[in-house]
Structure 1
Amino acid sequence: MNRTNRLNAILIQLQSKRVVKAREIADRFEISLRTVYRDIRALEEAGVPIGAEAGVGYFLQESYHLPPVMFTSDEASALLFGEKLVGKMSDEKIKSDFCSALYKVKAILKPSEKDYLEKLHEHVEVYNYHSMGDRFRLLYLNEIQQALVSKQVLQIKYESKHAEEAVLRRVEPIGLCNYSSRWHLLAWCQLRKDYRDFRLDRIADLQLTPEHFKGKQHISIREYMAQNAMIASEANITLLVPKSRQKLIDESKYWYGFLTEEDAGDRVRMQFSNSDLRGFAIWMLNTGSHAQVEFPLELQEIVTGYVNDMIKTYRKD
């Protein structure tokens, strides 16, 4: 990117939020802080009223307004991909709000860019089987975002995997996270007195409460995930997989806690960390990898039970 284009991009970035740190600009364009300072000075010399607050960042004076933003074809294509992903990876409220915002963006596109998107639209699709159930139509994403900003306690009715009935919890949200194709609420649970991970598709009801926790300092999403990664790094499952069938397991093993593997002659010894032994057993059998459970004994028994049940189902009397 040449300097003229970079200066225009920096100007747009300054308009995108109230205050922009010099480090944010440097990281985005992969330039030094010294270059950032020179670019800001060049914009000021061109008449752009840029304010600065020591140790905080740069900002545009409120009286300054940029002309309507124009998009390149690549940027317009990125908007299309965002539309497709939001449609399959969020609930109906977020999808509706995004579409409304996108209509406003499309309204300022040049005719050629509108035609480009129209032609591309039918050739791009996202499939996510997790989002096909009715529960995924309402994930309370909007309410959770509001609670995160205002540090507001949430009351949720949660249907855990093992409990027979939903349980009421009051939680202090610290973040939203999407992994394994599902949205998760990371929060401090007032009942358990600890941080917990709540899958949004298991929340039967969610209410914003008048209680706030502004005085508390919770850990960040990154700190929570790092702590759990350290716990999950301890293997509790070992499989022996025939090398001739290893490819059947390679693509999906990372979704089930794969850690390491080593050569074991005509087989590969794989280690996993996964607390859901029954779900892990079903995955093993579905892969067709003919994997043998080396550890733990409980998983061996679960797999054996599933196989015996299948034999009984298909055995002819």
Structure 2
Amino acid sequence: MNRIDRLTAILIQLQGKKIVKAADIADRFNISLRTVYRDVKALQEAGVPIGAEAGTGYYIVDGYHLPPVMFSKEEAAALLTGEKLMEQFSDHSNKKQFSLAMEKIRSVLRGSEKDYLESLEENIAVLRYQPGALANVDGEEFPNRFLSDIQQALGLNQVINMEYFSLQDEVATRREVEPIGIFHMSHKWHLIAFCRLRQGYRDFRLDRIRKLNLLNSHYEKGKHPSLQGYLEQQHNNHKQEAHLIKLRFTNEVMRHIREQKYYFGLMEETVKGDFTELTFLTGSLGYFSRWLVMFGNQVTVLEPLELKTTTANLVAELHQHYF
């Protein structure tokens, strides 16, 4: 990247955050801190109002904005792909907001980029399996339109009041929660929040929320862990409870478990002649044994002994049930 392109990219980076550390700029462009200082000085000399806070970073003075940004064909194609993903993996509120944003982006594209996107439009698709929509006890579908509100609550540290339906208890309860983050997993959005009713952190699926509104009250963000910190803690807890499993599959059956093995916690895979040895880390031997039964004598449990016993008991139950 030449220096002019880098200066433009640094300016865009500065406009994207309230404060940007010099080290972050250096890491992004693989340059030294001295080069960062020279580049920032060059922008300042060109009339860009860049301020600096000692020990913190650089910032753009409020009120300054770049003229409309032009996108390359590759960037425009990436945005189109993002739009396709949003159509399948977001809720009604975010789909609408992203669609409005894409309209603004398309409006600043050059004619050639617009033609390029139109030629790609019908040739990019994101598909996913969608089982029947989850319905509440009254037989009505859940609204699935609260993602934008939850994002606002996260940004402003607002308390959320919601009516949440628990599939386990088959009952809806009114909750006041202090959100700490959202994540997407297995085709569902999840909200991690401190529940004032249960006095603990809970994982709420957004597609089980019946009603939601943001309260005027706020909470102290610092008293809660970050989303990343919470997820790492849960992962560590899971690892402490997990079981290390070693199996030997025939190579004949390996082609049937290309994707499945990753869902069950695959850690290592080694081909040994006519067999392949796999190592897994799982939290439930019972759940894992039900998967193994599918492969009959094409798989051998090497360890632990407890898994052999669990699988044998399951086979005995099946035999008794059918014979």
TM-score category of the 2 structures, normalised to the smaller one: 0.7 to 0.9
The corresponding residue for 1:242 is 249
The corresponding residue for 2:91 is 91
Residues 24-39 of structure 1 mapped to structure 2, 5 A cutoff: 24-39=24-39
Residues 133-282 of structure 1 mapped to structure 2, 5 A cutoff: 133=133, 138-214=144-220, 216-234=222-240, 235-236=242-243, 238=245, 240-244=247-251, 245-259=253-267, 266=275, 268=277, 270-275=279-284, 277=286
The corresponding residue for 1:315 is none
**Distance in 1 of aligned mates of 2:314 and 2:175:** 32
Residues 4-15 of structure 1 mapped to structure 2, 5 A cutoff: 4-15=4-15
The corresponding residue for 1:71 is 71
**Distance in 2 of aligned mates of 1:185 and 1:96:** 20
**Preserved contact between residue 158 and residue 203 of structure 1 (Cα < 8 Å):** yes
**Preserved contact between residue 143 and residue 210 of structure 2 (Cα < 8 Å):** no
Rate the CA distance shift 1:255–1:63 in 2: closer, same or farther, 3 A.
same
Q: Residue deviations 1:49-94, cap 9 Å, x none?
A: 2222223322223453322211111111111011011111100110
Q: Unaligned 5+ residue runs, structure 2?
A: 135-140
Task: Give TM-score scaled by structure 1 length.
Answer: 0.82
Once superposed, what is the RMSD of the aligned Cα atoms? 3.3
**Distance in 1 of aligned mates of 2:311 and 2:101:** 49
**Preserved contact between residue 250 and residue 299 of structure 2 (Cα < 8 Å):** no
**Distance in 1 of aligned mates of 2:47 and 2:217:** 47
Q: Residue deviations 1:264-310, cap 9 Å, x none?
A: 995635433235955x566556789955676455666567657877x
The corresponding residue for 1:113 is 113
**Distance in 1 of aligned mates of 2:231 and 2:56:** 28
Residue identity opposite 1:252 in structure 2: Q
Task: Give TM-score scaled by structure 2 length.
Answer: 0.81
**Distance in 2 of aligned mates of 1:25 and 1:132:** 47
Single out whichever of 45-54 and 4-13 deviates more from structure 2: 45-54
**Distance in 2 of aligned mates of 1:221 and 1:150:** 16
**Preserved contact between residue 157 and residue 169 of structure 1 (Cα < 8 Å):** yes
Rate the CA distance shift 1:182–1:160 in 2: closer, same or farther, 3 A.
same
Once the 2 structures are TM-superposed, how far is the Cα of residue 223 of structure 1 from its aligned partner? 0.9
Alignment of 1:48 with 2:55, yes or no, is no
The corresponding residue for 1:17 is 17
Residue identity opposite 1:274 in structure 2: G
Could you say what secondary structure the match of 2:215 adopts?
Answer: strand
Once the 2 structures are TM-superposed, how far is the Cα of residue 241 of structure 1 from its aligned partner? 4.7
**Distance in 2 of aligned mates of 1:17 and 1:24:** 12
Single out whichever of 160-169 and 222-231 deviates more from structure 2: 160-169
How many residues align? The count is: 310
**Distance in 2 of aligned mates of 1:307 and 1:186:** 43
**Distance in 2 of aligned mates of 1:182 and 1:233:** 23
**Preserved contact between residue 248 and residue 288 of structure 1 (Cα < 8 Å):** no
**Preserved contact between residue 248 and residue 287 of structure 1 (Cα < 8 Å):** no
**Distance in 2 of aligned mates of 1:56 and 1:157:** 41
**Distance in 2 of aligned mates of 1:290 and 1:136:** 44
Residue identity opposite 2:127 in structure 1: Y
Residue identity opposite 1:271 in structure 2: F
Rate the CA distance shift 1:270–1:167 in 2: closer, same or farther, 3 A.
farther
Rate the CA distance shift 1:98–1:246 in 2: closer, same or farther, 3 A.
same
Rate the CA distance shift 1:215–1:14 in 2: closer, same or farther, 3 A.
closer
Once the 2 structures are TM-superposed, how far is the Cα of residue 145 of structure 1 from its aligned partner? 0.9
Residue identity opposite 1:17 in structure 2: K
**Distance in 2 of aligned mates of 1:220 and 1:67:** 35
Once the 2 structures are TM-superposed, how far is the Cα of residue 181 of structure 1 from its aligned partner? 3.1
